Amino acid sequence: MRKILFFVALASVFFAGILGASERPVFNVISVNGAITPPVAEYILQNIKEAEREKVSGLIILLDTPGGLDASMRDIAKGILNAPLPVVVYVHPAGARAASAGVIITIAAHVAAMTPGTNIGAAHPVALGFGGGGDKTMKQKLENDAAAYVRGIAKKRHRSEEWVERAVRTSESITAEEAQKKGVVDFVAVDLPDLLKKMDGMKVVVGETKHVIKTTDALIQEKKMGARQRILSVISDPNIAYILLLLGLAGLYFEFSHPGIILPGVVGAISLILAFFALQTLPLNYAGILLILLAIALFIAEMKVISHGILTVGGVVSLAIGSLILFDSPDPALRVSLDVMIPFLLVITLFFVGVIVLVVKAQVRKKQTGKEGMIGLKGVVMDDFAREGKVFVHGEYWNATSAKPLKKGAHVRVVGIDGLKLRVEEVSPEQE
């Protein structure tokens, strides 16, 4: 009997441990570090769905962004607002920021938190990816639209509507501590364990249902980007897209100017396809693309037309201007960095100029084969002849004609070709 009671007690402890472990809250954690682009939006929305399937207690987004595309930001905000589980946006680590599009994503979260040493703000609609063009009326419309949009989200999440409107209209930016005081975020947490501790017991509304967040003894599951999303995210960077575009054009240019090498053409074609994918996710200025293509056309024309360098200079200027205006956004996160642009422009320009020089040299160089290659070659007369006879030129015997009689052993030079006969003239010892 005692043995039976012992095994019953042991089994009770075992199953209690299993049940206790299964009741531990689980939070998935993802990291967003960089501009808000379509691949990033896909990554966040995919993880919201995955968290729902896994029935975890919530999704934590570690955010550090300078901003990004308005369309991608709205997709993310919509996904968070309609998420079937609590979504936490945590501006982390120290030195991180939630600027521009990051403001709206943070405000949309069920729980918003920041690390000491971080900042949030500067959400003027120009920086949200609307572009800097347009008249004053259009800019006002965009500003009013963005202000109404962010106020609506802030109201739903019971956050400071006044501050978020100032962030849109006057690009105001504040520290983590100021954000907590102004009611922009819920609290400041020094790290992830501190975040979980402060969230414990918080009441949030998920959909239409009130939900209490429990974090005691919580398990953390880090969800990293898949290989496909990482690749798409990398090439969606304006600097990478710009480099791929120029590499693609340079590779095809080299292949067409030197047919048969193959490798530059293959690399160029792959780079161009990747560049075109990246460009469709960015605020592209088509005038910039046209100027870059014009530069390539001018470089090609330089090889066909003698312009004394004018076409090359025009190509360099066109390439530089096209690079500067390639992306239509004043947001630094969506423009090519000058630290990348200037060195790469110099390298690409030197490449094109170098190819042009090689092609021009090949065009003006004396031909070494065929009829033209025979002109100027020297040989020896094999027999005396008055008008026609045999000469030995370039390792071969040729029938030749001469305006003057020639003696056997005389040295001659080819001055022309008539069919299969060489026209030669005697060369004096001084001309040898």
Residues with catalytic roles: 100, 141
For 316, residues 6+ apart whose C-beta sits below 8 A from its C-beta are: 295, 349
Burial class (CB in 10 A: 0-12, 13-18, 19+), 120: buried
Burial class (CB in 10 A: 0-12, 13-18, 19+), 206: middle
